C-alpha cells in the first residue's frame, strides 16, 4: 500500500473541498492545491507545481474551468511530468463525460507511468445551487438552449466519495469510472422540480445558442466561460450522454443520489428562496 499524503488540486471547489474534508476526517494528511494555499498551486503558474507536490504521494486533479478548454492538455502534461519527478505514486483525474478534449487529457494521465484512475462525471447537480444556474433560478427566469436534451445529473457528494475510494484503494487503479445520476432530466423538468420544491413560480424558456451567448455577454460573463458554455451546448449536449451507469453503486455499495432528492435537500437550505 502507498502512503496517504494527498494533494487535492482544486481543494476549495465543488468536489475538491468534499474530498479534502472527508480525507481529513479519516486522519489523512491533505494539502490543498489552490492559489491562496501555502504552498500555493496555480494552474497558470507552473513554477508553483513542484513545491505543492513535494512530500505528497497521491494527487486528486481537478482542472478549472474544464478539461475541454484550450491549454488544458499542455497543463495536464506538465503536471504529470512534475508528478513523476516528485515521485507521486497515484493520480486521480476528474474528467468530463462525452468530452473528446477531456479524453485527450485522460490519455496523458493514463500514459504517465504513474498509477491512475479517471473519474469521468456528467453535469453536477450542484450547478443549480453553487454555479451558473443559481442566479437565473433566483431571478425566477431560466433560459437555455438544447432544452430537450436529457442529462443524468450527478451529485458532487457521490463524485467525491468515488474519488476518495479511487485515492485510497488500489483496486481502482487503471480504471475509467464513468459516473452518472440514476435518472435522466431535461432542463425544463429540472426547473419545474425546483419550482415545486420551493413553492416559487420559476419561468423556463428554450432559446437558441446565439441568444444564450448574447445573454451571457450582457451579464458580463467572462469570455472563458462563454467559450466553455458554447462548447458544452454544441459538442456535448447533443444526446450522447442520455444514458446512465451503475458505477457509483458498484464502487460505493449504495445507490447514486436521485436528482429529486438533491432538490429536496437543497430546497430545505433556503438557497433558492433568497
Name the domain count of the chain. Answer: 1
Mean pLDDT of the chain: 96
Helix%, strand%, coil% for the chain, nearest 5: 45, 15, 40
In a domain, 138, yes or no: no
3-state SS, one letter per residue, for 157-182? HHHHHHHHHHHHCHHHCCEEEEECCC
Query: Which tens digit of pLDDT belongs to each residue from 123-154?
Result: 999 999 998 899 999 999 999 999 999 999 99
The confidence score (pLDDT) of residue 222 equals: 87
Of 232, 153, 138, residue with least CA distance to 190: 153
Residue 219: pLDDT band with limits 50, 70, 90: confident
In a domain, 54, yes or no: yes
Q: What are phi and psi of 4, to 5 degrees?
A: -120, 75
Query: Could you tell me the three cell numbers for 203?
Result: 419561468
Which ranges of 111-198 does DSSP label H, i.e. alpha helix? 134-139, 156-168, 187-198
In a domain, 22, yes or no: yes
- Domain of 162, CATH number, reads 3.40.50.720
In a domain, 203, yes or no: no
Residue 1: pLDDT band with limits 50, 70, 90: very low
In a domain, 271, yes or no: no
Query: Which tens digit of pLDDT belongs to each residue from 187-203?
Result: 999 999 999 999 999 99
Query: Could you tell me the three cell numbers for 55?
Result: 512530500
In a domain, 197, yes or no: no
User: What is the residue range of 119's domain?
Assistant: 5-124+154-180+243-257
In a domain, 88, yes or no: yes
The confidence score (pLDDT) of residue 2 equals: 57
In a domain, 167, yes or no: yes
Residue 235: pLDDT band with limits 50, 70, 90: confident
Amino acid at each position: 500500500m502507498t502512503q496517504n499524503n494527498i494533494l487535492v488540486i482544486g481543494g476549495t471547489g465543488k468536489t475538491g473541498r468534499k474530498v479534502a474534508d472527508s480525507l481529513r476526517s479519516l486522519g489523512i494528511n491533505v494539502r490543498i492545491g489552490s492559489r491562496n494555499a501555502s504552498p500555493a498551486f496555480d494552474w497558470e503558474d507552473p513554477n508553483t507545481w513542484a513545491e505543492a507536490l513535494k512530500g505528497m504521494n497521491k494527487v486528486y486533479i481537478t482542472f478549472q474551468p474544464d478539461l475541454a478548454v484550450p491549454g488544458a492538455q499542455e497543463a495536464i502534461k506538465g503536471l504529470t511530468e512534475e508528478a513523476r519527478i516528485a515521485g507521486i505514486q497515484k493520480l486521480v483525474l476528474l474528467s468530463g463525460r462525452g468530452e473528446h478534449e477531456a479524453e485527450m487529457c485522460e490519455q496523458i494521465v493514463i500514459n504517465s507511468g504513474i498509477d491512475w484512475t479517471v473519474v469521468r462525471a456528467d453535469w453536477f447537480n450542484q450547478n443549480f445551487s453553487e454555479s451558473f444556474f443559481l442566479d437565473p433560478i433566483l431571478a425566477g427566469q431560466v433560459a437555455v438552449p438544447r432544452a430537450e436534451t436529457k442529462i443524468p445529473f450527478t451529485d458532487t457528494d457521490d463524485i467525491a466519495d468515488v474519488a476518495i475510494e479511487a485515492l485510497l484503494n488500489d483496486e481502482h487503479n487503471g480504471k475509467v469510472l464513468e459516473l452518472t445520476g440514476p435518472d435522466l432530466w431535461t432542463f425544463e423538468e429540472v426547473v419545474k422540480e425546483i419550482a415545486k420544491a420551493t413553492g416559487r413560480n420559476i419561468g423556463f424558456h428554450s432559446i437558441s445558442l446565439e441568444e444564450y451567448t448574447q445573454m451571457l455577454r450582457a451579464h458580463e460573463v467572462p469570455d472563458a466561460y462563454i467559450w466553455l458554455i458554447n462548447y458544452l451546448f454544441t459538442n456535448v449536449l447533443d444526446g450522447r450522454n442520455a444514458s446512465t451507469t451503475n458505477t457509483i453503486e458498484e464502487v460505493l455499495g449504495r445507490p447514486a443520489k436521485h436528482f429529486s432528492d438533491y432538490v429536496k435537500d437543497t430546497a430545505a437550505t433556503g438557497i433558492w428562496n433568497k
